[in-house]
Amino acid sequence: MSTIRILIADDYEGWRSQVRSLLQARPDWQVIAEAADGPETVQKAEELKPDLILLDIGLPKLNGIEAARRLRQISPNSKIMIVSMYNSPDVVQAGFSTGALGYVRKTDVKRELLPAIDAVLQGKQFVSSSLRNHQFTDTSVQKAAHPHEVQFYSDDALLLDTFARFIAAALKSGSAAIVIITESHRDGLVSRLRAQGIDVEASTQQGTYVQLDVANTLSTFMVNDMPDAARFFEVVSGLIEAAAKAAKHSRVVACGECSPLLMAEGKPDAAIRLEPLWDEVGKTLGVDILCGYALSSFHGEEAKHVFQSICAVHSAVYSQ
C-alpha cells in the first residue's frame, strides 16, 4: 500500500490540528508538512513535492488562489484541494480555474473531507454539498493567465504612483490603458503620467488612454446597489474592445477604483461581488487589471472577512 503524502496549508494552527486528526482515520495518508502562509506553502511544495495539498484561500502574504497557480508550475503532479470558508460561486470558480480538483467548505469538513480526498486522488472533481447547486469548471487550460492585482494603500500618493507606473508601462509598449478613477485622484494621476513622458492628450485622442469617472461608470451596471453581471460585461467588454482596436498590439490593461468606491460608500457586499466579474473579464478578454483600495476602508472585526474575500480574488496582493 503506497503512502499518500499531504501538505496542509492554513494560517490557523488549531484548524491544521483538526484536519490532522481527521486524516488519522486513513493510515496510508501521511501529513509530511504544514504551512501557515502562501510563500511557505510554495516553498515546502517545491521541496517536498507532496501528492496532495490542502489549501486555504485566506493565506497571509500570498492568497490561496495565487499560491495554487504557482503550485501548478513548481509541483505539477501535486493534486490541490481547497478547504475554505468562502461560499461565493465566483470565488469557488476562481479556485477551480487554478487547476484545483476539489473545494470543501470548512463547515462541511467533518463529513466531507475524507470522501473529497478520495475523489481528488482519483482525479475527480469534488464540490461541497452546500455548493452543488452551481456548476464549476476547470478553466486553467482554456484561458490564458492574466494578472488581477490589488494595491492596498495608506496614502493617496502611493496609489497614484502605482497606477502611473502601471499605465505608463502599458502605453509605452504600444498597449491601451483604461483607468476608472475618482475625481479627487484624476489630476494627480495625469500629472504623474506626464512626468513619465506620456502625452496624455494625444493618447486620449488616439483612444489608447481611456479615463473614466468611477461614479458614472458604476451607474451603468449597478442595479439595486449590486452589480448586474449582464450589464457589467456589456459595458466593460465594449470599452475593452474599443481600446484594443486603438492599441498597436491590441493589448489592454485596466486599473481603477470601482469596488473601492463601493467600500467607501458602505457597500462591501457589492464590492465583493464586483471583483470576480473583473477577474472573469481579465481572463476572458486577456486584460491585466490593477485595483487600489485605501487601507482606511477596512477597520473592525467585520472588515476582516471583506478584506480576505477581496484578497482571495486577486492574483497578487500588495500593501503599503
Q: Where in the chain are the domains?
A: 4-131, 148-319
Q: What percent of the chain has pLDDT over 70?
A: 94
Q: What is the reported pTM?
A: 0.57
Residue 51: per-residue pLDDT: 93
The class (CATH top level) of 148-319 is: alpha beta
Residue 110: per-residue pLDDT: 87
- Asked if the model's pLDDT at residue 161 lies above 90, the reply is yes
As a whole number of angstroms, the distance between CA 117 and CA 115 comes to 5
- Asked if the model's pLDDT at residue 145 lies above 70, the reply is no
More confident residue, 44 or 140: 44
Residue 181: per-residue pLDDT: 95
Residue 141: per-residue pLDDT: 39
Supply 152's cell numbers: 492596498
| CB < 8 Å & 24+ apart, contacts of 58-63 | 58/11, 58/84, 58/85, 58/86, 58/308, 58/311, 58/312, 59/9, 59/10, 59/11, 60/11, 60/36, 61/37, 62/37, 62/38, 62/316, 62/317, 63/38, 63/311, 63/312, 63/314, 63/317
Asked if the domains at 4-131 and 148-319 fall in one CATH topology, the answer is yes
137-165 average pLDDT score = 76
DSSP state of 129: G
- Asked if the model's pLDDT at residue 136 lies above 70, the reply is no
- Asked if the model's pLDDT at residue 138 lies above 60, the reply is no
Residue 281: per-residue pLDDT: 87
Helix, strand or coil, per DSSP, at residue 182 = coil
Can you say how many angstroms the Cα of residue 34 is from the centroid of all Cα atoms in its chain? 23
Residue 175: per-residue pLDDT: 93
φ, ψ for residue 138, nearest 5 deg: -90, 105
Banded model confidence at residue 140, pLDDT cuts 50, 70, 90: very low
223-227 average pLDDT score = 93
78-92 average pLDDT score = 83
Banded model confidence at residue 190, pLDDT cuts 50, 70, 90: very high
- Contact call for residues 6 and 32 (beta carbons, < 8 A): yes
- Contact call for residues 278 and 148 (beta carbons, < 8 A): yes
Banded model confidence at residue 88, pLDDT cuts 50, 70, 90: confident
- Asked if the model's pLDDT at residue 308 lies above 60, the reply is yes
- pLDDT, averaged across the chain: 87
- Asked if the model's pLDDT at residue 268 lies above 60, the reply is yes
- Asked if the model's pLDDT at residue 144 lies above 50, the reply is no
- Asked if the model's pLDDT at residue 146 lies above 80, the reply is no
Residue 142: per-residue pLDDT: 39
- Asked if the model's pLDDT at residue 74 lies above 60, the reply is yes
As a whole number of angstroms, the distance between CA 188 and CA 190 comes to 6
Q: What percent of the chain has pLDDT over 90?
A: 50
The CATH number of 4-131, from 3.40.50.1820, 3.40.640.10, 3.40.47.10, 3.40.50.2300, is 3.40.50.2300
